[in-house]
Structure 1
């Protein structure tokens, strides 16, 4: 987890430097806002990863000599065959398209997003075979 934390910390620093230079040399408020939002989002991910690393330490995936069995006692966020992320992403994409194309597509998107959120909340997925 430490490698991912360093990666997103580097991205946040890049956006901080780029945004600072861009804000000093440009009068474009949209570009400045976009760079600052990118800085905040990458900083949020970096903070989460550093917190998880501090709480859990090194993962078995980070050790080149780790055995597969060492991963067995750790919890997962989703079941291995969960369709909830895919369904929720498709519903969100249809909502975004519906805002541009028309209300009917937005309603279909909300209809698809609802089971995706339900799957997230109740950890729905395909049964293990």
Structure 2
């Protein structure tokens, strides 16, 4: 994780240099703004990875003598069945269609989006999946 963080920080420095050169040369505000936002995003990801690498054990990616099999094992918990992403996808589709057909559709999609977010956040706090 430490190597990936350093890669993102180097990428951020490269994007910053390109953003400054592009801004001075092209004098075009949209592309310059996009490059500065990409710089900010790269800094955020790089800082997170470097900060997290200090608190967790060294992974196989940080060990030069590691084998591919060293990274094998459990990757985490993934929900086996959930309908909430479908609800969120429907709400997002309605919200984006609101831009095409009218902003009133955004107000109809807002309760669907909120129900999907609420349901996905709290799906393991009720029913058969409730932690005891």
Return the TM-score normalized by structure 2: 0.65
> Deviation at 1:39?
0.8
8 Å contact kept, 1:84–1:116: yes
Q: Counterpart in 2 of 1:106? A: 106
Which of the pair has more CA radius of gyration? 2
Q: Does 1:32 align with 2:45?
A: no
- SS of corresponding position for 1:36: helix
Structure 1 CA distance, aligned partners of 2:42 and 2:72? 32
Residues 1:2 and 1:22: Cα distance change in structure 2 (over 3 Å): same
Closer/same/farther in 2, CA of residues 7 and 28 from structure 1, 3 Å limit: same
Residues 39-72 of structure 1, C-alpha deviations (whole Å, 9 max, x = no match):
111211111111111111324676532552xx58
- Residues 93, 44 of structure 1: CA spacing in aligned structure 2 closer, same or farther, 3 A cutoff? farther
8 Å Cα contact 2:59/2:71 also seen in 1: no
Q: Aligned residue for 1:17?
A: 17
Instruction: Say if 1:87 and 1:52 are closer, same or farther in 2 by CA, change over 3 A.
Output: farther
Q: Partners of 1:59 and 1:90 in 2: how far apart?
A: 38
List alignment gaps of at least 5 residues for structure 2.
none
Instruction: Give distance in 2, aligned partners of 1:14 and 1:93.
Output: 36
Contact 1:118–1:124 (Cα < 8 Å) also in 2: no
- Cα contact 2:5–2:50 (8 A) shared by 1: yes
CA RMSD of superposed structures (Å):
3.3
Alignment CA distance shift 1:61-1:19 (3 Å) = closer
- Partner of residue 4, structure 1: 4
Alignment correspondent of 2:53:
53
- What is the number of residues matched between the two proteins? 120
Query: TM-score, with normalisation over the residues of structure 1?
Result: 0.66
